[in-house]
Structure 1
Amino acid sequence: MKKTTEIPVHRLDDTDFYASHTDGINLGDFSISHRIDFFALIWFGSDEGLHYIDFNPYPVKKNTVYLLARNQVHALPGNRPQSRVIILSKTFFDSIEDDDLRFLFVPFNNEGITIPDEMEQPLAELFNFIILENSGSNEPRLLHYYLNALLLHLYRFSNNSLARSAYHDERLRKLFDLISTNYKTQKLVDFYADKIGLTAKRLNQIVKEKLDLSVSQLIYNYTLIEAKREISHSTKSMKEIAIELGFNGQSYFSRFFKKQTGLSPEQFRQENI
């Protein structure tokens, strides 16, 4: 994955919804790291090694589905595997009424969802209906019905019991939204607890119970992902990146990054050139 002066951004122009097989996607080079300006569902149809979400490797396996959130970084080195892809603009994504389904796209949980063998053909037919409508009348209400049905099946197939229990907690949904918006400037649990109407202790208890993480770890996850993006695909100095991410200085940022990754920011940049 070669380094560029700025990370490429793939955009969904002039439409809010697009469904296609692999050969119909022409948004840019998928083999190098790129940031997506949309939400994406990728259903792999063959076993082809690895792909990368926010610089972490995940297997490309037949009938495994990955759900990517806007602003995540993706890379698919080598030949494109067979796949079915659905791309949603932020406008279309925000119009999905079911909170549980929107929550499937949270960026801290990037594990794939496996489609059982007996459901491959029925869901392939559902995907074909989506493509048919998308290339024809393109009625948003019908696309919502079809997409909701597909996402509901994926929700059912998900075997991440911690994440599934979190889907039903409105406090956690609000926490994720707050962190994704404020993690650069607000590092303390008290800020988020106050916004949600809980004590910091109680909020930590809920997050630990539902996700086996602390609130601070969630904040660190968002911060670390953005740090990796900036270090790997920008010419900014480490000092500039540290300030943008809300650290008091480069030394604090360097200690944080090495503690989380085992590498200094400089080492990480060298490995991703």
Structure 2
Amino acid sequence: MNKASLNKKIQIIENYGSNSVLLSENSMGIYFEFNLEINLKIYFKPLNEVFNKEGFTNNQGILLNFERDLIDEDDIEYALDVFSLFNKYPEFEITEESKIKQIRKLFLLLENEFYSSEMSYVMLKTLLKVLLLHLIRYQNNKILEQDLNQKRVFQFLELMETHFLENTNANFYAEKIGISLKRLNQILKGKLDLTAKQIIQQRQITEAKRRLVRSEITTKELAYKLGFDSISSFSRFFKKHIGVSPSVFKQER
């Protein structure tokens, strides 16, 4: 993969500002605020969301932004751990000097590779994975006051990521979590400003676009994979959200 193509998969922005453009709606972002060796504040932008910039203490931090493809290519357990990292808490603070130094070291390695004239896709993906695994470990080890509704949002997102291909009925997820669909939608609207059905549909669209671009799958096969009972219903669904049919979308990519 050449450098131009890689820059569409991952980007690093110094002094990230509110007018900075993210890669796409399918990208995930991490904003780092290094405060010497005293503390490290980290803000997460999950899929289909934007940063809550009200919490930023300054615009002198660094944004790491990457497409979800970079984690989808690995095992499902790793991908779910990453989604957990992004969806549990919108911000996270590290105060232990050794951990701050480790994250700074890993970020510097990633940054050096990103700016290298010999930038390698495999190396970037590997360094990103090591950085994310450290953040997952540090977050899991930190005792935080748990917000029950936030936990339910994460439960829903984790269940959906595992089951959306075979189950797109929102009631299924509400029952798994142990609450009514009405209550689940209230929680999701409050946290993400979307209902369960809307989030599931967004995930279907993301998966459809990914498979259309990255594989030779036919529209019929894709409709079946995503749980639609006919090509026509899937095509109408896709065109409603994207503006063009699946076949036209594939041709344009």
TM-score (norm 2): 0.55
**In structure 1, how many angstroms separate the alpha carbons of the residues matched to 2:168 and 2:135?**
39
1:19-73 CA deviation, whole Å, 9 max, x = no partner? xxxxxxxxx5464489x9xxxx9643489987456389x9xx9832226556657
The Cα of 1:167 is off from its aligned counterpart by: 9.3
Change (3 A) 1:124 1:245: same
> Contact between 1:166 and 1:211, CA under 8 Å: does it hold in 2?
no
Matched, 1:129 2:98: no
Change (3 A) 1:228 1:69: closer
**In structure 2, how many angstroms separate the alpha carbons of the residues matched to 1:171 and 1:256?**
28
Hey, what does 2:26 align to over in structure 1?
54
Matched, 1:103 2:79: no
Change (3 A) 1:69 1:227: closer
Q: 1:260 aligns with which of 234, 238, 241?
A: 241
Hey, what does 2:177 align to over in structure 1?
196
Q: Of Structure 1 and Structure 2, which has the larger fraction of its residues in helix?
A: 2
> RMSD across aligned C-alpha pairs, in angstroms?
4.8
Structure 2 counterpart of 1:44, one-letter code: I
**In structure 2, how many angstroms separate the alpha carbons of the residues matched to 1:226 and 1:261?**
13
1:52-110 CA deviation, whole Å, 9 max, x = no partner? 56389x9xx98322265566579xxxxxxxxxxxxx987778789xxxx943269xx9x
Hey, what does 1:63 align to over in structure 2?
62
> Contact between 1:126 and 1:146, CA under 8 Å: does it hold in 2?
no
User: Superposition pairs for residues 28-107 of structure 1, below 5 Å?
Assistant: 28-29=1-2, 31-32=4-5, 43-45=12-14, 51-52=23-24, 54=26, 63-66=62-65, 69=68, 102-104=84-86
Counterpart of 2:172 in 1: which secondary structure? helix
**In structure 1, how many angstroms separate the alpha carbons of the residues matched to 2:71 and 2:191?**
23
> Contact between 1:69 and 1:105, CA under 8 Å: does it hold in 2?
no
Structure 2 counterpart of 1:251, one-letter code: S
> Contact between 1:172 and 1:207, CA under 8 Å: does it hold in 2?
yes
Percent identity, aligned pairs only, is 28
Structure 2 counterpart of 1:193, one-letter code: A
> Contact between 1:44 and 1:65, CA under 8 Å: does it hold in 2?
yes
Structure 1 counterpart of 2:185, one-letter code: N
**In structure 2, how many angstroms separate the alpha carbons of the residues matched to 1:95 and 1:266?**
33
Q: Say which structure, 1 or 2, has more relative contact order (CA 8 Å, 6+ apart).
A: 1
Hey, what does 1:178 align to over in structure 2?
159
How many corresponding residue pairs?
185
Structure 1 counterpart of 2:63, one-letter code: T
